[in-house]
Amino acid sequence: MKSKFCFALSAITALTSLALSTSAQAQSQGSWLVRGGIMQLAPQVTSGTLSAPSLPGAQTSVSNSTQLAGGVTYMLSNSVAIDLPLALPFKHNLYGAGSIAGVGKIGDTKAIPATVMVQYRFGEAGALFRPFLGLGVTYAKFDSEHSTATLSGLTGGTPQNPTTLSIQSKFAPTLQFGGSYKIDERWFVDGAITRTPLKTRNTLSTGQTLDIELNPIGISLGVGMRF
């Protein structure tokens, strides 16, 4: 009877130790964190003016875009991590602004941001909530630009020879603030806000250019799993 009691006590002690060690490993060194959710990319636009020949003060604005997103994080230590955000391409509409405000849509583009972050996560590895700060670099790739008949009309294009648009792809730093909330030892909820100070140039087939500060703010929310 005594031996059975000792065996049961040993088993309970072992299970308790295993649970505690699992808790400590929630976001510890060597852990992989994979998440999926949504992200909104909201450009904070400061537009230059379209170069001559054009209407004085011709500018542009850019719409927000929301897309399926996620990411992969690897814990280099209990506090330092490498994070790779992932998302489907964001489609942004371009509208007239300044002296051409009200003309409507003048084009659209797909933005494909490729970002790598180094994060510092505060608190213990097994903490219920861990805020984090991140610093990284983003390559903002613009693709599939389209212009509208409105833009052609404003810049001298014709149906036979419409004005086309290209947007310069650029590298830029990215700042991140976020937090991770532990649901259990494997599942978590992750949210983050990023800001990327990005300035690029729009070039038309007519030779006209327009410099624009996009400075997008990204807001993401997802559910993840630890491996």
Average pLDDT over residues 16-39: 72
Q: Is the pLDDT of residue 1 over 80?
A: no
Strand order in the sheet with 165-167: 46-47, 209-213, 199-204, 165-167
The pTM for the full model equals: 0.84
Residue 4's pLDDT band (boundaries 50, 70, 90)? very low
- Domain 2-226, CATH number (from 2.40.10.340, 2.40.160.20, 2.40.30.30, 3.90.1150.10): 2.40.160.20
Return d(Cα 109, Cα 89) in angstroms, integer: 10
Amino acid at 189: V
| Strand blocks (E) in 2-104 | 32-42, 46-47, 58-62, 65-75, 80-87, 90-98
Residue-level pLDDT at 10: 47
78 CB contacts (<8 Å, ≥6 apart)?
A: 27, 28, 29, 121, 124, 125
Amino acid at 147: S
**Pairing state of beta strands 187-195 and 170-182?**
antiparallel
